[in-house]
């Protein structure tokens, strides 16, 4: 049987997946969990493509780190950076329905009837969205979704005739951004890491049984 040619892997910039699950290149390394308040203008990638990345905002700790999921270049707020491939898979795979909470500022003043379309789920070019939790709060709208489609919130509001002019993620699962200043980072506390682990176990247990 013919053998296929080997593939060279860059441990710092390539992500290895088998059946959709990220494989840790540094599985024996100490796990690191960083919460970053991403600035607009930074891309959520380890590869530069000639643009600043979220990795420029955190320290070089001598191990391969990568962002958990992505925020659009012009979106700000909470993003986790880690070397824990298993947690990354659990937080980003659609089957786990992880809460992602955003503050959106949009053009115009959406009516309750329009917002109800988002609460029920709305058809986009890549299919129907899951129902979202939508709350008007003064001059902005709090949006909770459980998916991670590309530019999803912007496309949802565009579908009801409103342009998103500002978007900030403030919560992912059990982790909240709080008062962390823009462009700054901090390491997750032991309690926060445990809360994520317990949250994931609970979801997996409920799905199985």
One domain, residues 114 and 54: no
One domain, residues 140 and 197: no
Instruction: Please report whether residue 69 resides in a domain.
Output: yes
Instruction: Please report whether residue 132 resides in a domain.
Output: yes
Residue 53 makes CB contacts below 8 A (sequence gap 6+) with 42, 43, 44, 45, 46, 47
Alpha-helical (H) ranges within 95-189 are 112-120, 152-159
Strand 164-172 relative to strand 76-82, pairing:
parallel
* Cα 41–Cα 47–Cα 52 angle in degrees, nearest 5: 25
CATH of the domain at 54: 3.30.70.580
Q: What is the mean pLDDT of residues 90-111?
A: 88
One domain, residues 41 and 61: yes
147-193: pLDDT as tens digits? 888 999 999 999 999 999 999 999 999 999 999 999 999 999 999 99
One domain, residues 137 and 78: no
Q: Which residues are tagged catalytic?
A: 72
Nearest-angstrom CA–CA distance, 193 and 89: 15
Instruction: Please report whether residue 19 resides in a domain.
Output: no
Backbone phi and psi for residue 207, each to the nearest 5 degrees, phi listed first: -65, -40
With 0-12 / 13-18 / 19 or more C-beta atoms within 10 angstroms meaning exposed / middle / buried, residue 91 is: buried
Number of domains in the chain: 2
One domain, residues 87 and 106: no
What is the pLDDT of the chain when averaged over all its residues? 84
62-94: pLDDT as tens digits? 999 999 988 999 999 999 999 998 888 888 876
One domain, residues 59 and 110: no
Q: Residue 19: its pLDDT value, please?
A: 52
Nearest-angstrom CA–CA distance, 99 and 103: 13
pTM above 0.85, yes or no: no
Q: What is the mean pLDDT of residues 119-142?
A: 96
5-27: pLDDT as tens digits? 444 444 434 455 545 545 555 55
One domain, residues 139 and 47: no
SS3 at position 102: strand
One domain, residues 120 and 30: no
Instruction: Please report whether residue 77 resides in a domain.
Output: yes
One domain, residues 35 and 83: yes
Instruction: Please report whether residue 81 resides in a domain.
Output: yes
Instruction: Please report whether residue 17 resides in a domain.
Output: no
Domain span including residue 153: 99-169
One domain, residues 117 and 86: no
């Amino acid at each position: 049987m013919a053998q296929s040619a080997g593939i060279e892997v860059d441990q710092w910039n390539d992500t290895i997946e088998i059946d959709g699950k990220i494989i840790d290149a540094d599985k024996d390394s100490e796990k690191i969990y960083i919460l970053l308040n991403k600035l607009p203008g930074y891309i959520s990638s380890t590869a530069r493509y000639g643009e600043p990345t979220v990795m420029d905002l955190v320290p070089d700790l001598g191990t391969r780190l990568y962002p958990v999921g992505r925020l659009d270049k012009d979106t700000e707020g909470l993003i986790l950076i880690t070397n824990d491939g298993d947690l990354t898979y659990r937080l980003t795979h659609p089957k786990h329905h992880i809460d992602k909470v955003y503050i959106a500022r949009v053009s115009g003043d959406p009516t309750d009837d329009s917002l109800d379309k988002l609460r029920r789920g709305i058809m986009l070019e890549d299919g129907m969205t899951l129902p979202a939790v939508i709350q008007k709060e003064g001059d902005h709208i709090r949006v909770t979704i459980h998916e991670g489609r590309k530019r999803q919130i912007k496309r949802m509001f565009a579908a009801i005739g409103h342009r998103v002019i500002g978007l900030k993620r403030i919560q992912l699962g059990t982790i909240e951004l709080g008062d962390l200043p823009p462009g700054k980072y901090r390491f997750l506390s032991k309690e926060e890491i445990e809360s994520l682990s317990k949250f994931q176990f609970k979801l997996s247990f409920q799905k199985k049984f």
